[in-house]
Structure 1
Amino acid sequence: MSTNNLELLSLEELLKNAQTQKATEVHISIRNFPYYRCQGILQVSSNSVIDDFTFWHWAKTIFSVEEIQQIKSGNPARRFYQYSFANLSVSAFLILQGAAMTIKFLPMDIPTVDKLGISQISTNISKYSDGLILITGVTGSGKTTTLTSIVNDINQRNVKNIFILEEGITYSYPKSKSLIYHWEIGTHIPNFEQGVLTAIENHADIIVINEIKDRSTFDMALRAAKRGVLVIASMHSSDVISTIQELLTFYSSQEQDFIHLNLANHLQAIVSQRLVTTLDAEYKRTAIFDLLFTNEQVRNYILAGKIQDLSTLMQAGKEDGMSTMKSELESLLTSGRISEDTFTKTLQKITS
């Protein structure tokens, strides 16, 4: 393909071509060929080198005039964008050769809680009308998918006023019973704090935060929970114990009584997950969970600072919907769904 032909090719056509090759990402930069990532492997496309004119012509189909100026001034921009055939996460930034865009294909459909095997977890969470629900996991654990599936389950079964705040949109929610306001931080609202305040002022029933990374965001989540809003938020942490410990580090030693009291009063549940490779023909990976649902005993343990001892309550709290990753991993081994090797390696990760 000649450079002239590439200039005439629209970004939409390029992306359709990438999609036919089952690409998950497209990398575009000035003075370079377009690259596709297919099955995790980056490969050069058959298109010609992208010149300056073509790059900025394509960028203008995604970004506003103000965002184009932002990119050209050296400040990266990110945008969720939709075609009829694809949902996209697009980021653009300057490089030595000029500028570049990374375009990620996002899922078109939200997996159901039944498909993910979390229908009971979702049912338990949907019983709450206020307080704080935390969905946690390490990078690549599937926590965003779990959070989105649970929120969409609520959307399909209840009439709620739901405000969703994300730094980068991953899923687009379908119209159903609930009223959904979906904001991308930096595009529709300046920051999480302003988003939470606006949601509270507009009588939110549920606020979704993806994700809590610092004290200021968590303080706003607590503020909403205290106002009678159900806050469902994600965090980057590996299990229930480390999640609470991470929250405690946001506060000084003089504030520990304050945060223990607030967690005891307003934390409703923590769902921590990790993906495990299975022997199943249909599902190659499944999630195992740490599940903590707050009851009087859990509250007393949090107030007393007995965070490490919460695992004992989780092991004994099956009737309250609680569980541990270790017990779920053992069940997978007993049922023949995972290999001995997978069991041993995963057990080392969750107990180290």
Structure 2
Amino acid sequence: MSLRFEIQDLFSEASRRNASDIHISVNVPPIFRVDEQLRRIDHPPLSVEDVKMILSRLISDLQFKRFYSEKELDFSFNFPLGNGETIRFRGNCFFERGNIAIVLRLIPQEIRLIKNLLLPSQIQEVAKKRRGLFLVTGPSGHGKSTSLAAIIQEINLTRNCHIVTIEDPIEYMFTSVKSLIHQREIEVDAASFAEALKRTLRQDPDVIMIGEMRDLDTTRAAITAAETGHLVLSTLHTPDSSQSIDRILDIFPAYQQDQVKLQLANILIGVCSQQLIPLLEGGRIVATELMWAVPAVCNCIRERKIHGIKNIIQTGLDQGMHTMDQDLIRLVKEGKLPKDLAASYALERKEFNRMLYL
């Protein structure tokens, strides 16, 4: 059996098992991540040449040269399975102990809507906004890109907008419906996030989606874009709203933070922090914290009293807000999560246990 067909079989099996990731390493068989658990498949251990050959089938010669030069590479690709189905992947390859290793994230072809993801229905209001900054935050692998894609698709189906996405690499592939969508990939279509953002402001955008606000230049450009009348959507690897705001402010030099907190208070729409929790019967369910930039929150940002935001969220149910622990309690009371499992994902376990019995 040729390696090409082994790859095809491997990807087909990953899709069949609803794996979220595939790990390909030397001296071990391929490993799938299914519902947060790593599971080895019945396959012989891969040799150095096997892994090198697999990677050569997934990336271009130019990417291969860059990988050997920089020792790391992010990439994405579509792979046809031969039955009319195509799977899309986001990949990363790296060296460990001198050997190549590859991690592939499966990207669903279908872009699910906000209601299908069981996200808070209030998030649909974001798709109606004309300007401002909305963030989706949480750990890696917990659906941030999927939630952003759902908001973009909501806009695509309901508004006549020009949407520009800036990603590294491109994950979900959009088809323009009511909106016109242009997707730009770093190092393929643009040199950097910051440079792409600067140029995007000259491309008549209405909505700008930034894959991640990962550095000072990108964050500064995102704030500028939101200030100049655009809807900006992005992600951060932060567990809750308060830490998301602190992360943005702290990325700036100390002498600029007073100005930035005023800008952020003026442009912020809200923050949705999320976790995907594996269910005992299989599959995962989303738990969220949702914060809106109501006047009290904006005052906390202006005065750099970020610690006060949690209390505002906790008491803001009538304004469509809730903390992560409040949402976990909701899932327990609705019978969707067992108490012990929900408690293990609580941000403040003692507080979770106290609120559970109120």
Give the TM-score, by structure 2 length. 0.81
Deviates more, 1:6-15 or 1:225-234: 6-15
Deviation, structure 1 residue 244: 1.1
Mapped contact 1:33–1:44 kept (Cα < 8 A): no
Q: 1:34-113 alignment to 2 at 5 Å?
A: 35-37=30-32, 39=34, 40-43=38-41, 45=43, 51=49, 55-56=52-53, 59-84=55-80, 85-93=86-94, 99=100, 101-113=102-114
Distance in 2 of aligned mates of 1:207 and 1:178:
13
Contact between 2:119 and 2:286, CA under 8 Å: does it hold in 1? no
- Do the aligned residues in 1 keep the contact of 2:276 with 2:284 (CA within 8 Å)? no
Provide structure 2 residue ranges, at least 5 long, that are not aligned to the other structure: 81-85, 353-358
Which residue matches 1:336?
A: 335
Distance 1:251 1:310 in 2: 21
Greater Cα offset, 247-256 or 233-242: 247-256
* Distance in structure 1 (CA, Å) of the matches to 2:343 and 2:33: 31
Are 1:306 and 2:305 an aligned pair?
yes
Name the counterpart of 1:209: 210
Question: By how many angstroms is 1:190 displaced?
Answer: 1.6
Report the Cα distance in structure 1 between the residues aligned to 2:17 and 2:344, rounded to whole angstroms: 34
Check the 8 A contact 1:24/1:36 in 2, yes or no: no
Cα deviation, 1:280-329, whole Å, max 9, x if unaligned, reads x686423232x222233332232222222222332343343222223323
Residue 28 to residue 251, structure 1, CA distance change in 2 (3 Å): closer
CA contact (8 A) 2:272 2:288 kept: no
Counterpart of 1:224 in structure 2 is 225
Report the CA distance between 1:133 and its aligned residue.
0.7
Residues 75, 186 of structure 1: CA spacing in aligned structure 2 closer, same or farther, 3 A cutoff?
farther
Q: CA deviation at 1:138?
A: 2.2
- For residue 253 of structure 2, what is the amino acid of its counterpart? S
Residues 226-279 of structure 1: per-residue CA shift (max 9 Å, x gap):
221111010011111111122221233333321221111111111122334567
Instruction: Tell me whether 263-272 or 309-318 shows the greater mean CA deviation.
Output: 309-318
Q: 1:230 to 1:103 in 2, by over 3 A?
A: same
Residue number in structure 2 paired with 1:288 = 288
Which amino acid in the other structure matches residue 41 of structure 1?
A: R
Supply the distance in 2 between the matched residues of 1:48 and 1:331 (Cα, whole angstroms): 45
Provide the C-alpha distance between the structure 2 equivalents of 1:345 and 1:116, rounded to a whole number of angstroms: 22
Amino acid at match of 1:328: D
Partner of 1:157: 158
CA distance in 2, matches of 1:154, 1:179: 10
- 1:269 corresponds in structure 2 to 270
Corresponding residue pairs, total: 343
- Stretch moving more, 263-272 or 9-18: 9-18
Q: CA RMSD in A?
A: 3.2
1:37 aligned partner, one-letter code = F
For the Cα contact (< 8 Å) 2:274–2:286, is it kept in 1?
A: no
Q: Is the 8 A contact 1:276 1:288 kept in 2?
A: no
In 2, distance between residues paired with 1:308 and 1:199?
35
Q: Is the 8 A contact 2:208 2:232 kept in 1?
A: yes
In structure 2, the CA distance between the partners of 1:89 and 1:140, relative to structure 1 (3 Å rule), is closer
Residues 99-126 of structure 1: CA deviation (Å, up to 9, x unaligned): 5544443222222211222362332212
> What is the letter of the counterpart of residue 78 of structure 1?
D
Q: Comparing 190-199 with 301-310, which one deviates more in the overlay?
A: 301-310
- 1:170 aligns with 171
Give per-residue Cα distances to partners, 1:54-107, cap 9 Å, x unaligned: 945x65544333223223445433321113421122444556676554444322
Q: Which amino acid aligns with 1:309?
A: G
- 1:143-183 CA-to-partner distances (Å, cap 9, x unmatched) read 22222212212112212111112223332223422211122
CA distance in 1, matches of 2:231, 2:189: 22
CA contact (8 A) 1:135 1:143 kept: yes
**Runs of at least 5 residues in structure 1 that lack an aligned partner in the other structure:** none
- Offset at residue 191 of structure 1 (A): 1.0
Which structure is larger by alpha-carbon Rg, 1 or 2?
A: 1
Whole-angstrom distance in 1 between the partners of 2:145 and 2:151: 10
Structure 1 residues 103 and 257, CA, compared in 2 at 3 Å: closer, same or farther?
Answer: closer
Check whether the contact 2:325–2:347 (CA below 8 A) recurs between aligned residues: no
Tell me the amino acid that sits aligned with residue 295 of structure 1.
V
SS of 2:306's partner is coil
Counterpart position of 1:326: 325
CA distance in 1, matches of 2:160, 2:88: 26
Structure 2: how far apart are the matches of 1:156 and 1:74? 40
Task: Answer yes or no: is the 8 Å Cα contact 2:157–2:178 preserved in 1.
Answer: yes
Q: 1:190 to 1:309 in 2, by over 3 A?
A: same
Q: What SS does the aligned partner of 1:288 have?
A: strand
- Contact (CA 8 Å) 1:122, 1:153: kept in 2 or not? no
1:118 paired to 2:119: yes
Question: How far did residue 17 of structure 1 move?
Answer: 6.3
